[in-house]
Amino acid sequence: MLERLYRRRMPVDEVLSAEAAKTLAQFTHEIRRPIGLVITRRGAVQDVLVGAGAEPSPTTLATFRASPRSLRGLRLIRSQLKELPLTQEDLTMLGLLRLDMIGMLAVTPKGEPGLLSLAHLNPPSSQGQLYTLLKPTLVHQCSVNFETFIRELEADLQRQSGSHAMAQGQTAILVSASPKSKAEQEERLAELAELASSADLTVIDRLVQRTQSGHHRFQLGSGKLKDVLMQAMQKGADLLIFDQDLAPAQLRAIEEITDLTVIDRTQLILDIFAQRAHSREGKVQVELAQLRYLLPRLSGQGTSLSRLGGGIGSRGPGETKLETDRRRIRERIDYLDREIAGFARHQDQRRSRRIRQAFPVLSIVGYTNAGKSTLLNVLTKSQVATAPRVFETLDTTSRRLHFPHGREVILTDTVGFIRDLPKDLLAAFRTTLDEMRDADLLLHVVDAGAKDLDTHIASVDTVLQSLTLDQIPRVLVFNKCDQLPTGQAEALCRRYGAIGISALHQETLPALMQHLEEQLATLVPLASRP
Ligand SMILES: Nc1nc2c(ncn2[C@@H]2O[C@H](COP(=O)(O)OP(=O)(O)OP(=O)(O)O)[C@@H](O)[C@H]2O)c(=O)[nH]1
Ligand SMILES: [Mg+2]
């Protein structure tokens, strides 16, 4: 019987033809259940849905794709036996699926078409209102010329997104959902925003939700999640970035109801590393970390490798490399592991050479963006790249440093740390980080102006501990003191037992140099090395 509905083809300029409305009303009346027609722009009925909550089939949704800048090319007209307005669920579906329109046809007690209520999405700027509800009319009185209407709406959507400066770069909405306090979550999102901008993403919104305990299916409650997704669609976001790690099942559940790219903080960090890795060693380490992260997230059932592995864009392990199965990925992991072992051997040789040269080694460590490379540069007159963004440095650089009293040491600068450093990344960067094992003294550089100074210090301590480097003597150095009001820096340094400097101001450095020389004299007496 429903066959007859499928055979309908409406004129392209009508939302719902009078004839289709009649048949729809009649069937609804007969089976006493709501029916939904999913209609293409060419006026063909694509799906017939029976029951109140029915949604378009996954196959249909996969065939007709929507993007934040365009609609799906499908409208949904539902019938119901009572004369009720469109429900919140209908409007959510309109937004989430980015339907051309959603409609509700009331069916009279005699089985005839009653009033038709319609709603459509607005272009992003319309005073924040996501959709417009049209005044209900009888089908034959409906004045909408669907073809013209949809052409104009699509043009508006295109124009709106084009006028955003973000048209070139990708845009992201940051999401945090955890039982932690709002303030704490917001602080973390501030750092996530730095990570995002370091990856050349434009953050257009931040959403924080305090959850009771873990929601299993989604990170957020599914109602709230739908809200987030709708906003993301409406604001033209390309990505949704979760501060919390998403379990593979959570990722899939979100992917099921949206066409957005969804990633978590770990993936974002991996992506930044992939963007920045220049040396062969760096590239191998990043690829290894990405593959290790990816492997447990592959599902047999159609999760596309390119989508996950691609991260925020098409960076990372290339699509072709990833269009393989688990076995191939495992093989690749083994291969990269062996390559890294090779690097490690090389490094052993370099190290023993250096030890033969008998220079004490000072390693600069610290939170990302603390000013480590700037300090190396100013102390050793080098030109390591520095930038006001996180994870600028990935490779280790070693330079000679001459102390005023003639003593010479090796000063090294390396990759910065961050709180909750992804463990796959830490594992993959072992060879780079292992260079620190040679250190006689660690210079822990801290951005004195950082809002969450204690977290920064603690995170670095944690990483050093997990690398079993915590037994190496350490000097705490508070950098960027020029950014604090006079007096405050001194007080802060006194409180933490740190030495205050500003790597940008040479005149602040002699005190540090003197302290380092004294420390070295006790740790590595000149006579102890040949
Ligand atoms: N105001 C001020 N800015 C500084 C100081 N030292 C470094 N900076 C700036 O801080 C930013 C980060 O410096 P980097 O030396 O790249 O920091 P890093 O610790 O090597 O960072 P990563 O390699 O990304 O981990 C740069 O823009 C520097 O110019 C300082 O003493 N005062
Ligand atoms: Mg650096």
Judgement on whether residues 286 and 236 belong to the same structural domain of the protein:
no
Q: What is the rounded distance in angstroms from the CA atom of residue 401 to the CA atom of residue 220?
A: 52
Compute, in degrees rounded to 10, the torsion defined by CA atoms 329, 331, 334, 339.
-90
27 and 111 belong to one structural domain: yes
Nearest atom in ligand 1 to the alpha carbon of residue 483 is 1
CATH (domain of 499): 3.40.50.300
Q: What's the Cα-to-Cα distance from 34 to each of 15, 95, 99, 117, rounded to whole Å?
A: 18, 21, 19, 15
- Residue 343 inside a domain? The answer is no
What value does the mean pLDDT take over residues 204-219? 71
Bridge partner residues of 267 (DSSP) = none
Shared-domain flag, residues 53 and 11 = yes
In the listed set 94, 128, 163, which residue is the last one of a domain according to the structure? Answer: 163
- Report the nearest-CA residue for atom 2 of ligand 1: 480
Q: Mean pLDDT over residues 274-281, rounded?
A: 85
354 three-state secondary structure = helix
Considering the domain boundaries, does residue 92 fall inside one? yes
Q: How many whole angstroms from 485 Cα to the centroid of ligand 2?
A: 25
Atom of ligand 1 lying closest to residue 503 CA: 31
Confirm whether 348 is domain-assigned: no
Give the residue, 121 or 306, on which the prediction is more confident.
121
Distance 394 CA to ligand 2 centre (A): 7
φ, ψ for residue 314, nearest 5 deg? -105, 15
- Ligand 2 centre distance from Cα of residue 401 (Å): 17
Shared domain check, 23 and 102:
yes
Residue 366 lies in a domain: yes
Q: Which pLDDT score, from 0 to 100, does residue 432 have?
A: 80
In three-state form (DSSP H/G/I as H, E/B as E, the rest C), the secondary structure along 231-258 is HHHHCCCCEEEECCCCCHHHHHHHHHCC
Mean pLDDT of 298-312: 42
- Backbone conformation region of residue 426, classed left if phi is above 0, alpha if psi is from -120 to 50, else beta: alpha
Of the chain, the percentage scoring pLDDT greater than 90 comes to 46
Instruction: Give the number of other Cβ atoms within 10 Å of residue 282's Cβ.
Output: 20
Query: Which helix or strand (DSSP H or E) is residue 489 part of?
Result: helix 488-496
Residue 142 in any domain: the answer is yes
Predicted local distance difference test score (pLDDT) of residue 166: 40
Residue 375: the pLDDT is: 97
Where residue 197 sits, what CATH number does that domain have? 3.40.50.11060
Of the three residues 163, 178, 195, the one that is the final residue of a domain is: 163
Q: In a 3-state reduction of DSSP, which class is residue 267?
A: helix
**Structural domain boundaries enclosing 460:** 358-528
In a domain, 345, yes or no: no
Extended beta strands in 260-366, E state: 261-264, 361-366
Q: CA-to-CA distance for 154 and 157, rounded, in angstroms?
A: 5
Q: Into how many domains does the chain fold? A: 4
Helices (H), 170-297: 182-198, 222-234, 248-256, 265-276, 280-294
Q: Which amino acid is at 384?
A: V
Residue recorded with tokens 């365009």: 70
pLDDT per position as a tens digit, 48-99: 999 887 888 878 887 888 776 788 999 999 999 988 889 888 888 898 888 9
261 or 263: whose pLDDT is higher? 263
β-partners of residue 173 are 205, 240
Residues 409 and 468 in one domain: yes
Structure tokens at 264: 């978590």
Asked if pLDDT for residue 476 goes beyond 90, the answer is yes
- Report the atom number in ligand 1 closest to the C-alpha of 390: 24
Q: Is residue 353 part of a domain?
A: no
Q: What is the pLDDT of residues 357-413, one digit of tens each?
A: 678 999 999 999 999 999 999 999 999 999 999 999 988 899 999 998 888 999 999
Instruction: Please tell me whether residues 324 and 387 are part of one structural domain.
Output: no
Q: Which domain-ending residue is among 264, 295, 313?
A: 264
Residues 402, 485, single domain; the answer is yes
Q: Which atom of ligand 1 is nearest to the CA of 368?
A: 25
Confidence band, pLDDT 50/70/90 cuts, at residue 528: low
Higher pLDDT, 297 or 22: 22
Same domain, 241 and 369: no
Q: Do 195 and 246 share a domain, yes or no?
A: yes
Q: How confident is the model at residue 449 (pLDDT cuts 50, 70, 90)?
A: very high
Evaluated on CA atoms 151, 157, 162, 163, the torsion sign reads positive
The reply to whether 269 falls in a domain is no
Q: Model-level pTM?
A: 0.76
**Do residues 37 and 166 touch, judged by C-beta distance below 8 A?**
no
Which ligand neighbours the alpha carbon of 194 most closely?
1
Q: Angle of helix 265-276 relative to helix 280-294, nearest 10 degrees?
A: 160
For residues 230 and 300, state if they share a domain: no
**308, 387: one domain:** no
377 Cα: distance to centroid of ligand 1 (angstroms): 11
Question: Residues lining ligand 1, CB < 6 A?
Answer: 366, 368-374, 386-388, 390-393, 416, 479-480, 482-483, 502-504
Residue type, 351: R
pLDDT at residue 303, as a whole number:
38
Q: Which amino acid is at 523?
A: L
**What pLDDT, on the 0 to 100 scale, is given for residue 458?**
96
Mutate to test the pocket of ligand 1, among 194, 365, 369 (most ligand atoms within 8 A of CB): 369
- Residues 448, 426, single domain; the answer is yes
Beta-ladder partners of 442: 363, 474
Q: State residue 488's pLDDT score.
A: 94
